[in-house]
Amino acid sequence: MRKLVLLFVCALLAVPVLGQTTLSGAGATFPYPMYSKWFSEYSKSHSGVEINYQSIGSGGGIRQVTAGTVDFGASDMPMTDKQLQESKTKILNLPTVLGADVPAYNIPGVTGEVKFTPEVLAGIFLGKISKWNDKAITSVNPGVNFPDKDIIVVHRSDGSGTTFIWTDYLSKVSPEWKSQVGSDTSVKWPVGLGNKGNEGVSGLIRQMSGSIGYVELIYAVQNNIPYGSVRNSAGNFVKASLESVSAAAASAPKMPPDFRVSITNAPGKDAYPIASFTWLLIPLPSKDPAKGKILNDFLNWMVTDGQKMTGALSYAPLPDNVVAKEKEAIKQVR
């Protein structure tokens, strides 16, 4: 009798498991707080669906979706022509949300907002500006008492879309950076210490007096790390915010049919210059039609209900015209 009862209980416990579908994804850390919220909320309202996501960096996301080991990937840079050609399946690069890289710092004795010009940021990350009281920094920050202290540069050690956004921007504003370093998910850094993920870079900045690094806006906000404003292409110092990131998207080049676009150094007077879309990488068609159907439903939910959740996590929602184009593209997902 006890064996029968045990078998009955086991059968009951197995029912929800048998009816559950799990989607797996991997990639960018830049949007991880947003994706974590979305996947959790979607699963709550869609019983039997679970979405697991590994925050391993954009490079890892591109590799895994190309290899077919995940149901979707994620990246803060759209896949290149070469990467798309090397993939065994067609991959849709679908923008999900807008975010920003910010220059986050830990300068002893400085609590106010620090202003950065493109030249200063390029100089710091090239190793040409090595002291916080360098004239290039103090001249654009009158009234701020900078210490005579070495600058410690912190950067990503893993393949990262956050790095691509940062280096894409520096390549646009500094010919020297473009020729010596360039833009990619991984680059040969002239100076600095590396750590893995936005989480790792945030942690080093908090720990190391005199440090500066680049992190996604939400990581600076959540970790209470000061971050500065950046002079944009119109000559205005602008701090990253929902409004300034949205302004960058509004003034950036027209969205192409394949959604692969860079909006760094956008021309608008209110635009924050180190802003970017981030993308989900969706194989077409899905290996499993049942998962493809769920993915289609999730993506439609993401560009509608999901966009209402962005502001609370310091991301900017997709522009309406982009949402309209994406709804058409999502019809391919099956």
Q: What is the pLDDT of residue 14?
A: 42
- Mapping DSSP to helix (H, G, I), strand (E, B) and coil, where does residue 310 land? coil
- List the structure tokens of 69: 């080991």
Task: Tell me the backbone φ, ψ of residue 154, rounded to 5 degrees.
Answer: -120, 135
**17 is a domain residue:** no
| Residues 172 and 282 both lie in one domain | no
Count of domains observed in the chain: 2
CA distance 140 to 144: 9
Tell me: do 163 and 57 sit in the same domain: no
State residue 11's pLDDT score: 43
pLDDT, position 50: 97
d(CA 146, CA 108): 8
| Residue 146 and residue 228 share a domain | yes
Residue 199 lies in a domain: yes
Q: Please tell me the predicted confidence (pLDDT) of residue 115.
A: 98
Low-confidence ranges of the chain (pLDDT < 70): 1-19
SS3 319: coil
Same-domain status, 48 and 118: no
Of the candidates 46, 83, 27, the one whose C-alpha atom is nearest the C-alpha of residue 294 is 46
List of residues 6+ apart from 126 with CB closer than 8 A = 174, 176, 177, 180, 181, 190, 191
pLDDT at 1: 54
Are 137 and 219 members of one domain?
Answer: yes
Sheet containing strand 90-106, edge to edge, reads 49-55, 21-27, 72-75, 275-284, 90-106, 211-216, 152-156, 193-195
Q: Quick one: 188 and 220 in the same domain? A: yes
Q: Are residues 107 and 244 in the same domain?
A: yes
Residues 121 and 223 in one domain: yes
Q: How much is the pLDDT for 252?
A: 82
Is the domain of 173 the same as that of 309? no
Q: Looking at residue 254, what is its pLDDT?
A: 87
Q: What is the CATH number of the domain that holds 164?
A: 3.40.190.10
- Expressed as residue numbers, the domain containing 313 is 22-99+276-330
For residue 49, what are the β-bridge partners? Answer: 21
pLDDT tens readout for residues 135-170: 999 999 999 999 999 999 999 999 899 999 999 999
On whether both 57 and 128 belong to a single domain, the answer is: no
Task: Give yes or no: residues 30 and 167 share one domain.
Answer: no
- Residue at 136 is within a domain: yes
pLDDT tens for 210-267 read 999 999 999 999 999 999 999 999 999 999 999 999 999 998 888 999 999 999 999 9
pLDDT confidence of residue 165: 97
DSSP secondary structure string, 141-192? STT----S-B-EEEEESS--HHHHHHHHHHHHH-HHHHHHT--SSS---SS-
